[in-house]
Amino acid sequence: MYHVMVVDDDPAIRESLEQWLSLADIEVKTYASAHAALIDIPKDYPGVIVSDVRMPAMDGMEFLKRASKNIPFILITGHGGITLAVEAMKAGAYDFVEKPYNPERLVDMIKTACKQRQHYLANKKTEVSAYDLNGIESKIIGQSAAVIRLRKRILALAKVNSDVVISGETGSGKELVAQCLHEYSVRREHAFVPINVSAIPENLIESELFGYEVGAFTGATKSHSGKFEYAHGGTLLLDEIESMPMYFQVKILRVLQEREVVRIGSHTPKRIDVRIVAATKKDLKLAVQEGDFREDLYYRLLVSEIKIPPLRDRKEDIVMLFKHFLTKAANFNGLVCPEISVEEGLVLETYSWPGNIRELKNTAERYMLIHHIDDVSVQELLQVSQPELSGSNTLMSEASLSARLEHVEKMLIDAELKLHEGNIKTVMDVLDLPRRTLNQKMQKYGLRREEYLPN
């Protein structure tokens, strides 16, 4: 919808403008004075103000100065001149129109300004600082539908005691999700014990997890409690559980079933009250089929599951996360946080982020430090790992809104085609486009499916 507030003390002009704009599918509200309009402007008004300059009590210039600077303001006057036009633009006017004017040109101007205003409001909604959030929203940051679902699932599973499998790509935040499961559970007063299974040498894994008694082996001069005991009453995260040796998976299965451990060198089992959270970057069901993971352990662990979406599937959160990490890096280093331009935001959103949030965080920290030395752009920084992000992705600041939107549309379709290797059906689903529409857009932008197919 297009919206406009028309302010003019001449009733004939108000009536004619209302009729003309209404025929152009623009929702119109008219006011006889600037004061009446000023007190009626709703917060986050999604439209445009069109006002006469010469009016009693409060003229158009004063009205412009007192109205919100973010609402596009078009001034109309029959007594114009270069001086007045310059003054109006300096005061923040969107445009300045002299009578007599072409009504069709005014309609186009209003519609374009409305689109810009609504785009601004949409961005404003998504650019909530992570520091303004509370609770789990300040930990699992983002406003995409995927992240909202993720937070709801974490909070729901935090209320129960069942074991959980967290699956997600490298760098997607599996340990953070596990921490949230613990912090919002009844176990939060006890220990959260993370352990990376792949980082433990195979000959030490049993002593590290189960503990040992004095004399159990050479060098065992005192008793040592394992991670399971240390996590008693709390939560134990077994990260990269897919790398656990097959022989040890049998022992873990017994611990999960009996809820007790036996230290090396002992015959006495110790009862444990531990919630097990297993994290994996691999599809455990596929690992079972390939003979790399025990089927009985897989089903014993899979009481509940949390799947973390990759960063490329939550593009709406990328700029917000990047700014969050930038702010943290700036505060830590005592530096001024740089602004991210629209063009740089588009580069961030169209990059594939194979390293997910970990890569985004590292990129933000590098950008913060390098930017203060060499004034490097985000695009230049990402060229190191993604050469295809070349100068053609830069939106020229002089380009029209329609040209910018087309450029963004082409970038997004191109990025999805690359990511899904020319799979049209998947791209249609991701972008929510009918087959015919996608084909038309690909033809319009010179994007050929054959160029994206794997070799």
Q: Are residues 51 and 186 in the same domain?
A: no
pLDDT at 388: 40
Q: Are 252 and 205 in contact (CB under 8 A)?
A: no
DSSP secondary-structure letter at 226?
Answer: -
Q: Are residues 404 and 298 in the same domain?
A: no
Q: Evaluate if pTM is beyond 0.85.
A: no
Q: Which of 318, 329, 325, 341 is nearest to 369 (CA)?
A: 329
Task: Assign 167 to helix, strand or coil.
Answer: strand
Name the residue range of residue 191's domain. Answer: 135-309
Please state, for a pLDDT cut of 90, what percent of the chain lies above it.
43
**What's the pLDDT band for 32 if we cut at 50, 70, 90?**
very high
Q: Are residues 176 and 305 in the same domain?
A: yes
**What's the pLDDT band for 387 if we cut at 50, 70, 90?**
very low
pLDDT at 398: 45
What's the mean per-residue pLDDT of the chain?
85
**Ramachandran quadrant class, 267 (left: phi over 0; alpha: psi -120 to 50; beta: rest):** alpha
Q: Which is more confidently placed, 43 or 295?
A: 295
Question: Average of pLDDT values for 42-51?
Answer: 89
Structural domain count of the chain: 3
Task: Assign 193 to helix, strand or coil.
Answer: strand
pLDDT at 130: 46
pLDDT in tens, 129-146: 444 456 899 899 998 889
Please say which residue of 85, 104, 126 terminates a domain: 126
pLDDT at 395: 40
Q: Are residues 421 and 333 in the same domain?
A: yes
Q: Are residues 76 and 167 in the same domain?
A: no
pLDDT at 383: 61
pLDDT in tens, 231-267: 999 999 999 999 999 999 999 999 999 999 999 999 9
**What's the pLDDT band for 390 if we cut at 50, 70, 90?**
very low
Q: Are 130 and 328 in contact (CB under 8 A)?
A: no
**Domain CATH number, residue 427:** 1.10.8.60
